[in-house]
Amino acid sequence: MNRSIFISSGFHILLVIITAMSLPFLSKKPIDLPPIVSVELIQITDQTNIPFAPKAKKIIEKVKKKEKEKLVSEQAPPKKVKKEKPDAVPLPDKKIEKVEKIENKKQNPEKIDNEVKQVSEFEKKELFDPNNIAALIDKSKEEIAESTNKLDKVTQDQDKTIKLGGLSLSEEDALKAQIFGCWSIPLGLPYSDNYIVRIKLKLKPDGSVIKSEILDHARMNKPGQKFFKVLAESALRAIKLCSPLRVPTTGYERWKELQLNFDAREMLQG
Amino acid sequence: MKSIYILILLFLIPIKAFALIEVDITRGNLSPLPIAVSPLSTDKESKKNFEVLLKKKDIGSAISSVVENNLKQTGLFNTLSKDAFLQKPNIAHLKPRFEDWSLIKAQALITGKVTIVNEKLRVEFRLWDVLAGKEMMALAFTTVPTNWRRVGHIITDKVYERLTGEKGYFDTRIIYVAEEGPKTNRVKKLAIMDQDGFNNKYLTLGNELVLTPRFNPTNQMVTYLSYFRNLPRVYLLDIETGVQEVVGDFPGMTFAPRFSPDGKKIIMSFAMDGNSEIYTMDLENRVVEKITNHPSIDTSPSYSPDGKFICFNSDRSGYQQIYVMKSDGTNVKRISFGKGLYGTPVWSPRGDLIAFTKLHKGKFYIGVMRVDGTGERLLTENFYQEAPSWSPNGRVLIFYRETKTNSEGEGFSAKLWSIDLTGYNERQVPTETDASDPSWSSLLSN
């Protein structure tokens, strides 16, 4: 019994030793890892994401090219000027020549300018100070952002008017201005607080009038309401004369029915 | 029960609805209304008859010219040139081609037809709204052929009333003092004419000095002042019959007799014991009643249209100003407070305004103010002008103006002028001779 226990344990120990010896990491040298270096993560799209200002990218490329050219051309002229510089004071004629010559020498940089002239004012500025391109791109982005904000604001206002069912101020002004021109106020009318004619219109999408209805129609034929009748008829004539009305190009649903209140009090009061 | 559920469900369904948009139109243009007056059409047979009766080749055109001229004078209408008309009068009267008339910018159109029926003139006319494409009015008149001008005036009155809402003033007459000769020996005759200056007639011979003729507001009677043997006399004249009667002889200076609104009384001023006061005279029993009693000079009285008030001018404040009082002479109130002297106040037939003459810094003005004295507006200014008289609708004033006949200031000429309440439509009223003291009649055809 003891003998068998000894043999079993001996074999087990042997097995463990063989297994331990056969593992790979036990035989390899440790990996020489480089020291950990901290890296600061910077958002670079703000400066390099050119699609926001595609023109600017082209300009940067152009400027880089021109900078190389400039380096060449700027190095050369000073030498030439030195060579041609006369020692004595030039005569008036010679002076003119000199000026002309200097002008000729300046042709190279001017040529660059000429090319630049083809681009916008915004781009010109960038050329003069290429280092600020990033800042300019930022500006352009800001401008775009502002303009989009503005657009958003306008559309928000319009949304409001649409929700309220009214016309915007400019739309209302356009309509008023048109009818002002068409409405011949009867000149003989006496002033009265009571002369306001309300007319309800049904309009086509192009602004032409399908139907016009005087809301106080019953008053037209009442005795003692001659002036009201005359005013109402003049208002109807104005609508006929102005048709088609200057209505907004969009939002037909909100203005397909419209009420015009013809109020001559201000004009009659003088 | 089901229907209740359906109703509740219907309420819960969101419906996209817009509030009705309202736009206030507070301004327009104040240009005159463009109107086309088509010549009244006449058939061949009627034309021949008119040539024999009236010695007029085209009576239709003649009547339409009267209408056109009247409308033009108002300043409220722009009568379009006949040369631009595309449709013939006879066809236009049956059914106007509105496109043709709107093409020449006409907003209203008058068409008509003239015929002779039993030796009487028959005139049909229609007023059309060109833009609405509908008839606004259609009327016919029958009268003696010689009355053709009056027919033109009546048509104008009807058109004017339909398009402006207020009564017209075209079928009316003006009585005035026709003047001839040098200023030192002036011959003054009573004359009457249509409001447009036609059909002028002299009612007196010019032997006596006549002054201040005034129409009765209710009929065609005239009261005026005449000097008989250097004594002022107030006369009544019936224009239809030509009968004239003396109302009374009055002492001293008598001024401006004027009818009460009901035509039963005459109101005037005359000087008794050296003091000028306002009196009324009942035309039935000739009883004279003193209205004012003040040591100052009170003259030029004029009744309000309802007869309850009288406006007059007085110098009781030291300067000649306008006052208003009750018709019994109580509750006297001064209403003019501006600089200068105010005179000849006349109450408007509408009752809302008082017209007056104002003298300030050597210039004469014709103006209007509200009956409480507010809203004074001077309509016209000149070297010498006075005596405003209202048209029956209270929209136009007629007055007379004296001007120098040449640039060196020699001689003088007196003419009648009219001006409307806007102050922009001032026109000379044509008269055969010099003229002064005009008075406008009420409408002949009511």
Same domain, B254 and B292: yes
Over residues A165-174, mean pLDDT: 82
Residue A237 has its nearest CB partner, among B31, B132, B164, at: B132
Same domain, B47 and B153: yes
Inter-chain residue contact B27 with A260, CB threshold 8 Å? no
Higher pLDDT residue, B50 or A210?
A: A210
For residue A25, the model assigns a pLDDT of 55
For residue B251, the model assigns a pLDDT of 67
Residues in chain A within 8 Å Cβ distance of B105: none
To the nearest whole number, what is the mean pLDDT of chain B?
89
B240-252 pLDDT, tens digit each: 888 888 887 776 6
Over residues B218-227, mean pLDDT: 85
Same domain, B266 and B392: yes
Query: How many angstroms from the chain centroid is the CA of residue A44?
Result: 23
Q: Is the pLDDT of residue B421 over 50?
A: yes
Of B164, B185, B200, the position where a domain reaches its end is B164
Strand order in the sheet with B377-382: B341-347, B353-360, B363-370, B377-382
Inter-chain residue contact A263 with B422, CB threshold 8 Å? no
Same domain, B102 and B121: yes
Q: How many residues belong to chain A?
A: 270
Inter-chain residue contact A260 with B131, CB threshold 8 Å? no
Over residues B46-61, mean pLDDT: 83
Inter-chain residue contact A184 with B107, CB threshold 8 Å? yes
Residues in chain B within 8 Å Cβ distance of A264: 26, 28
Same domain, B223 and B183: yes
The total of other beta-carbon atoms located within 10 Å of residue B291's CB is 20
B367-412 pLDDT, tens digit each: 999 999 999 999 999 989 999 999 999 999 999 999 887 776 667 8
Inter-chain residue contact A188 with B132, CB threshold 8 Å? no
Over residues A48-75, mean pLDDT: 53
Residue span of the structural domain in which B237 resides:
173-440
Same domain, B159 and B180: no
B281-310 pLDDT, tens digit each: 998 898 999 999 999 999 999 999 999 999
| The CATH number, out of the four listed (3.90.245.10, 3.30.1150.10, 1.10.4160.10, 3.40.1190.20), of the domain defined by the range A169-269 | 3.30.1150.10
Tokens 């085209």 label which residue?
B58
For residue A57, the model assigns a pLDDT of 58
Higher pLDDT residue, B220 or A269?
A: B220
CA distances from B8 to A28, B12, B281 (A): 84, 6, 81
Inter-chain residue contact A264 with B28, CB threshold 8 Å? yes
B112 confidence band (pLDDT: 50, 70, 90): very high
Inter-chain residue contact B30 with A233, CB threshold 8 Å? no
For residue B70, the model assigns a pLDDT of 96
Q: Is residue B182 domain-resident?
A: yes
Q: Is the pLDDT of residue B256 over 90?
A: no
Checking phi first, is residue B19 left (phi over 0); if not, alpha (psi -120 to 50) or beta? Answer: beta
Q: What is the pTM of this model?
A: 0.72
| B219 CB-near residues (< 8 Å, 6+ apart) | B263, B442
Domain ranges of chain A: 54-139, 169-269
Same domain, B118 and B216: no
Of B164, B196, B217, the position where a domain reaches its end is B164
Q: Is the pLDDT of residue A123 over 60?
A: no
Over residues B24-33, mean pLDDT: 88
Same domain, B99 and B207: no
Q: Is residue B434 domain-resident?
A: yes
B8 confidence band (pLDDT: 50, 70, 90): low
Of B139, B164, B189, the position where a domain reaches its end is B164
Q: Which residue of A has its CA nearest to B34?
A: A184
Q: Which residue of B has its CA nearest to A180?
A: B28
Tell me the DSSP string of A102-162: HHHHTHHHHHHHHHHHTS-HHHHHHHH-GGGHHHHHHHHHHHHHHHHHHHHHHHHHHHHHH
Q: Is residue B24 domain-resident?
A: no
Residue B25 has its nearest CB partner, among A189, A241, A261, at: A261
Q: Is the pLDDT of residue A161 over 50?
A: no
Same domain, B131 and B159: yes
A27-41, B116-130, B289-303, B363-377: segment of lowest average pLDDT:
A27-41
B135-158 pLDDT, tens digit each: 999 999 899 888 899 999 999 999
Residues in chain A within 8 Å Cβ distance of B103: none
For residue B253, the model assigns a pLDDT of 65
CATH number for B82? 3.40.50.10070
B446 confidence band (pLDDT: 50, 70, 90): low
Same domain, B151 and B188: no
Give how many domains chain B has, as a whole number.
2
Q: Is residue B276 domain-resident?
A: yes
CATH number for B424? 2.120.10.30
Q: Is the pLDDT of residue B345 over 60?
A: yes
